Structure 1
Amino acid sequence: MYNNHHGIYTIRGDMCYENKLMANTALPGRPPAESICLTVSDHDRNSTTPKRKRRLRISPVTVANVFIILIVFASLVFLEYGPTPSAKLGFYCKDPTISYPYKGDSISLLLILGGSLVGPLIVIAATELYREKNFNKRWGIEIWNWFRDFTIGMTVNLLLTQVTKVFIGEHRPHFFDTCLPDAAQTCLPGEFITDYKCTNSIYSNYVITDSSRSFPSGHASVSVYTSLFCAIYIHLRLPSHQLRLVIKPFIIVCILLWSVVCCSTRITDYRHHWWDVLAGFILGIACVVYTVITLCKPFEMPLVVSKTHRPSASTTTLLDVKNKDATSVII
């Protein structure tokens, strides 16, 4: 069909075999031409539409979140190294529980924090890569989402631990060796001393102040939080049907051993009492439960599509040739 008055030509489209479109072109004043079959996919491929450039927009919520995170991390640094107002703890004269030698840390603060940030990032990236099978945009988005939730929970854990250390605290097992309180030389056994002054000039003020921050164990809370989060993440996100029976449990056990080693060395290094480690253990569990239930989205397993429900290769979408934005029809 064509219109001589407006001088336009039309295309008549009918269904052809093999998902093709039968078209008859007609110019003004001329009879319709012979019918030809056009492949819908060829039409889609040849047609070009201008692509709009996306502008990077930062929402006010994102700015507020970044600002809050910076404030929290600044507060953590100030609580750890700044002159925070904390109560001066007393001690019992000749107390054997705080008379151990100072041996240092088998697992340093830098190692525990670095391992608790880099380790989960590697676990999340490897797991999402195994699920996606390639380095696409969705792979990066999933890594960011999971690591963001992990980092928020870790920040909450560190904040609770550090505030408790500063405002409650407890003498470490090596307190006498680190502080060398002047009143400990003349006091009677069993006497409770509150008025004393540290006389040890070998260690810095930070080490002496830190000798009264034993409760709770920060190494225990951080390592337990990290290990449990990674174990739960791998258990629910890593497909079991594609791995052998031993591989997945072996990975989870190796991750959990990290927390066992961290907690054990805090006691053998005389850096914490056993109840300090237990308190940090409980705090780490509470924070990971809060993170998994409240912050994280549901742990979804990969969608398995049955072969009987897969669309056939010949199925395609028939587009209106005259208007590409028209509603699609599935053949």
Structure 2
Amino acid sequence: MPPNGRNGHPVGRLVERTGCIGSVARLWQRTYAPDYVAFAFLLTGYILAQLFMEPFRRMFLLSNPNIQYPHALVERVSMAWNIVYAGVIPLVILILWLAISRAGIHQFHVTLLGFFIALLLTSFITDVTKNAVGRPRPDLLSRCLPAAGTPKDILVNIEVCTEKDRHTLEEGWKSFPSGHSSFAFSGLGFLSLFLSGQMNVFRPRTDLGRALIAFIPILAAALIAISRCEDYRHDVYDVICGSLLGFAIAYFSYRRYYPRLRSPKCHEPFPSRGMTFNNGVGQNKDDEETAGAGLFELDDSDEAS
């Protein structure tokens, strides 16, 4: 049966209509409006989670050595500095790189859009997971300040805590995953992927200097993650899972707008939705579909040199 309308999709059929519905459908398909609408919903969900979602509070043992570490009043990397290191600095570098390389408006647009989506999606998933899991931090007892006479070998709950600062106490059950780690690997990981693509790091025999430049953001993110263990805010398990989560989302967001890093054109974003719409494609082709042209391969002359 032949497809009805453009590609047989509901939106594709609507774009062929006249009037208001057709105009909206064409706007939806030829622009990045779907991404911005989804971004708005994601931001709303994140704000609501911050305001109304309370963490699940697991019961704990006072004799558990894993939660007896001191509560550091001064963090090596505070939340504000983490935003600077993993959010502001990568954003500035992205803008400067695009400006110096005289990138087009489309590349400016999708690069910054992908970067902000990575940060927000990572923050949303991390915070929702933290509240749902309710894993005690290594410094829980220092936050809780259990009442005198509380049994040490019997499971107890938040009711035995005497800490008056509700925020300090509630944060004691937000250990998994590490938010600093996920945010750091999201922002700095996106920057690393971007630099790798712009400098063709995965081209055969690319010089080590380019690879090291692209690796610097990952090293910075790793140091931020390690600091969370040094401050006894998280254990290694929390940090590793947070780091993997952040980098996975960074890669997901980057690949929505850029080809894979082994593509000869990895420094160029996918064509804009407007261009593909006007060409009658209706959607971007995945670079994996262009099998032969999508990989760096050594030819005979390369192998002989």
Superposition TM-score, scaled by structure 1 size: 0.62
By percentage of residues, which structure has more helix? 2
Alpha-carbon contact 2:60-2:155 (below 8 Å) kept: yes
Is 1:191 aligned with 2:191? no
Root-mean-square deviation (CA, aligned residues, Å) is 2.8
Task: Give CA deviations for 1:267-304 in whole Å, capped at 9, x if unaligned.
Answer: 000100111111112212321232233x223263569x
Partner of 1:3: none
By percentage of residues, which structure has more strand? 1
Cα distance in 2 between the residues matched to 1:209 and 1:118: 28
Task: Give CA deviations for 1:294-316 in whole Å, capped at 9, x if unaligned.
Answer: x223263569xxxxxxxxxxxxx
Q: How far has the Cα of 1:122 moved from its partner?
A: 2.2
Partner of 1:108: 78
Alpha-carbon contact 1:131-1:238 (below 8 Å) kept: no
* Greater than 3 Å deviation, 4+ residue runs: 58-68, 138-141, 244-247
Corresponding letter in the other structure for 1:191 = I
Alpha-carbon contact 2:56-2:173 (below 8 Å) kept: no
Give the secondary-structure state (helix, strand or coil) at the position aligned to 1:92.
Answer: coil
Corresponding letter in the other structure for 1:173 = P
Cα distance in 1 between the residues matched to 2:176 and 2:42: 21
Which deviates more from structure 2 when the two are superposed, residues 99-108 or residues 110-119?
A: 110-119
Q: Which residue of 106, 109, 114 maps to 1:149?
A: 114
Give the secondary-structure state (helix, strand or coil) at the position aligned to 1:192.
Answer: coil
Is 1:162 aligned with 2:127? yes
Alpha-carbon contact 2:185-2:243 (below 8 Å) kept: yes
Q: How far has the Cα of 1:59 moved from its partner?
A: 4.5
* Aligned pairs (5 A) from 1:236-275: 236-238=197-199, 245=207, 247-275=209-237
- Identity rate, percent: 20
Alpha-carbon contact 1:153-1:287 (below 8 Å) kept: yes
Partner of 1:99: 68
Cα distance in 2 between the residues matched to 1:197 and 1:112: 33
Partner of 2:58: 89
Partner of 2:250: 288
Cα distance in 1 between the residues matched to 2:176 and 2:36: 30
Q: How far has the Cα of 1:71 moved from its partner?
A: 3.7
Structure number with the bigger relative contact order (C-alpha 8 A, sep ≥ 6) is 2
What residue ranges of structure 1 are gaps of 5+ in the alignment?
1-57, 133-137, 304-331
